[in-house]
Amino acid sequence: MNNEALYQERFNRIQKAIRLEPVDRIPAVYMGVAFAPRYMGMSIAEFCTNHEATVTMNLAAMDKLGGLDGINLAGAGRITAILTAMWLSRLGVPGRDLPPDSLWQVREAEVMTIDDYDFIIKNGWQAFLGSYMPRVIDMAEFGEAMGWLMANAPRCVNTYRERGYVPVCGAATSPPYEYFCGGRSMQKFIFDLHRIPDKVQAAMDAIMPDIIGQAIGVARASGSAGVWVGGWRSASALISPKLWDRFAWPYFVKIVNALVEAGLTPVLHWDQDWTRDLGHLRELPAKKCILNPDGMTNMRKFKEAAGDRMAMMGDVPAAMFAAGTPEDVYNYVRDLVRLFGSTGLILCPGCDAPINTKPENMEAFVAASREYGKAA
Amino acid sequence: MSDQLAMAMADLEETTVLNLVRQRLEAGDNPMAILASCREGMTQVGKRFEACEYFISELIMAAEIFKQATALLSSRIKTDVMGGRGKVVVGTVKGDIHDIGKDIVVSLLKAANYDVRDLGVDAPPQKVVEAVKETGATVVGLSGLLTVAFDSMKETVAALSAAGLRSKVKVMIGGGSVSETVQQYAGADAWGTDAQAAVSLCNRWIKEVAK
């Protein structure tokens, strides 16, 4: 079978899983941004400075592992510049600020100020980013990284397809909560939610059209049907229902509905524990979205709450990849398959297989996906 | 709860708490009694967290209010009466620079009257060992968000053993994707899903030592 036929077979398998239709074999997709270079022998410092490395390392790791249907988020370009833009935070970069073969890290600091909310309300998101980004990254570096990304991202995403793999997501975004929480620092942002809630909400409302428009634009340019909608600090385990109901969930709903209306598939990439609020997933369009948790959200409760309306892509925990055994991984995949059966499941590392994933654990993930996925 | 200040603290009414502290100070109230009211409120915050009425967002806000209240009291209270419940060494382990969870743990332990040596982030094993030797702490809290922290936690526990301190301290770990698997991997005594769990563990261990 040539790569295009292979891609079509895998694409149809994943689309069936999203529509909660039975599949011939449960799809298994890759996610391990920092694991890939470590697995393939490239230093993380080199990985962070090489525009093409995200694609080449992911593909090399996927080829070596074999048997995968696709990749969760088809990364491209310099990871540290992209993360800076998503977190509005300074990053520690391996080889420059950190040891060459260590992991990049977000530096938690209050960079965005309370006055910035007023600026955003008055001038909009794009004007704010123009004035803000120099506070967190060298603009020559950022401009080069983003310029390369804009020129090459569609080609990069298509490279996965040419190799027979499905890029489930070709674009990424997150609700305003995550941007502001990153820029303000978590502690200061929580203070803001208590002390100046109306101002925060006004700023959130002000940036929504830009966030949605950009996500749709990038997704369409990439040629991928999916958009990764990230949530980590807006998780149910971290904030009270009162805050979540006002500052987190309504924005997820607006983004998801806009993406679905645009013919795209929102992938709710939810780190941390969201169990408390899983019932809200019933408010989203049925069989059009994917929940992508990291192993901390209760999957049994997800099945009860929204398993008849939404597929799940995940959720083998990062800690298991790093500190567990192949048997642990094997059993985890087996239990997922037993829970979901042949509908609504796409096997995937939860969040992202970490840099110190034991290779034998990743190989066990793939082997278990093949064995149990076929038997479902 | 015994008084208005404790209730305001428990309800996270920042302005009310700070006004009441100032009013009671101006009225000549004993600063230790005012501190006790704040602590009573914080105890209630912990109970509400355990009852899933409060979440991390409320713990962060409560810690901030408590910090401001104790700042108003600090010049009137002798520092040696603070932290009388026990000594704890806390830090984010080597290779990890995340401090949100660690900082909440430090704040809550201080509010619960523990004497906390905060080692900051990226703390190498030997720094933890030295801090335990210097303070005589009986509890060590190791934090880490990244999975690379697991190895540092393991190395830190090993360093405590090598220094002959392992039998004298209880080690708790927390943060990010820490789990029972990681606790076993690192050789720690316990792991916690949240900052309040750190306080509960310390309370339990200090009681065990006292028996």
Question: Per-residue pLDDT averaged across A9-18, rounded?
Answer: 97
Where is average pLDDT lowest: A12-21, A182-191, A216-225, B164-173? A216-225
Same-domain pairing of B121 and B75: no
User: What is the span of the domain harbouring residue B188?
Assistant: 87-210
Same-domain pairing of B120 and B66: no
Residues ≥6 apart with Cβ < 8 Å to A248: A175, A177, A231, A234, A239
Strands A226-231 and A265-270: parallel
Q: pLDDT band for position B172 (50/70/90)?
A: very high
Q: pLDDT band for position B162 (50/70/90)?
A: very high
- To the nearest whole Å, the CA of B154 is away from the closest chain A CA by 11
Confidence at residue B2, expressed as pLDDT on a 0 to 100 scale: 66
Q: Does residue A375 register a pLDDT over 80?
A: no
Share of chain A above pLDDT 70, in %: 99
In contact, B106 and B142? CB cutoff 8 Å: no
Same-domain pairing of B200 and B106: yes
Same-domain pairing of B64 and B101: no
Q: Does residue B207 register a pLDDT over 90?
A: no
In contact, A365 and A316? CB cutoff 8 Å: yes
Same-domain pairing of B51 and B67: yes
Q: Does residue B195 register a pLDDT over 90?
A: no
Same-domain pairing of B203 and B144: yes
Same-domain pairing of B71 and B93: no
CATH number at residue B16: 1.10.1240.10
Confidence at residue A376, expressed as pLDDT on a 0 to 100 scale: 61
Question: Per-residue pLDDT averaged across B85-95, rounded?
Answer: 94
Task: Give me the amino acid identity at A2.
Answer: N
Number of independent structural domains in chain A: 1
Same-domain pairing of B72 and B141: no
Task: Assign residue B187 a region (left: φ > 0; alpha: ψ between -120 and 50; beta: otherwise).
Answer: left
Q: How is A313-341 classified by DSSP, letter by letter?
A: EEEE-HHHHHHS-HHHHHHHHHHHHHHHT
Question: Where among B64, B81, B98 does a domain terminate?
Answer: B81
Q: How is A101-167 classified by DSSP, letter by letter?
A: TS--EE-----S-HHHHHHHHHH-HHHHHHHHGGGTS-HHHHHHHHHHHHHHHHHHHHHHHHTT-EE
Confidence at residue B80, expressed as pLDDT on a 0 to 100 scale: 59
Same-domain pairing of B172 and B72: no
Number of independent structural domains in chain B: 2
Considering only CB atoms, which chain A residues are within 8 Å of B146? 103, 105, 354
CATH number at residue A28: 3.20.20.210
Taking CA atoms, B154 is separated from B98, B181, B201, in Å, by: 18, 12, 19
Same-domain pairing of B67 and B160: no
| B187 in reach of chain A (CB within 8 A) | no
**A276 closest CA partner among A253, A247, A256, A305:** A305
What count of other Cβ atoms lies within 10 Å of the Cβ of residue A42?
A: 17
Question: Where among B81, B97, B119 does a domain terminate?
Answer: B81
Tell if the CB–CB gap between A103 and B56 is shorter than 8 Å. Answer: no
Confidence at residue A76, expressed as pLDDT on a 0 to 100 scale: 87
In contact, A227 and A172? CB cutoff 8 Å: yes
Tell if the CB–CB gap between A239 and B182 is shorter than 8 Å. Answer: no
How many CA atoms within 13 Å lie on the side-chain side of A278?
Answer: 26
A207-259 residue pLDDT tens: 999 999 999 999 999 888 899 999 999 999 999 999 999 999 999 999 999 99
Confidence at residue A120, expressed as pLDDT on a 0 to 100 scale: 98
Beta bridge partners of A293: A270
- To the nearest whole Å, the CA of A98 is away from the closest chain B CA by 9
Q: Is the dihedral of CA B50, B56, B57, B60 positive or negative?
A: positive
Q: pLDDT band for position B155 (50/70/90)?
A: very high
Q: Does residue A292 register a pLDDT over 70?
A: yes
Same-domain pairing of B76 and B97: no
Considering only CB atoms, which chain B residues are within 8 Å of A195? 14
Question: Where among B39, B60, B81 does a domain terminate?
Answer: B81
Q: pLDDT band for position A184 (50/70/90)?
A: very high
Higher pLDDT, B75 or A307: A307
**A172 closest CA partner among A49, A273, A315, A76:** A76
Measured between CA atoms, the residue of chain A closest to residue B179 is A319
pTM tops 0.95, yes or no = no
In contact, B150 and A319? CB cutoff 8 Å: yes
* Most confident by average pLDDT, A353-362, B66-75, B170-179: A353-362
Q: pLDDT band for position B145 (50/70/90)?
A: confident
User: What is the span of the domain harbouring residue A111?
Assistant: 3-375
Confidence at residue B74, expressed as pLDDT on a 0 to 100 scale: 84
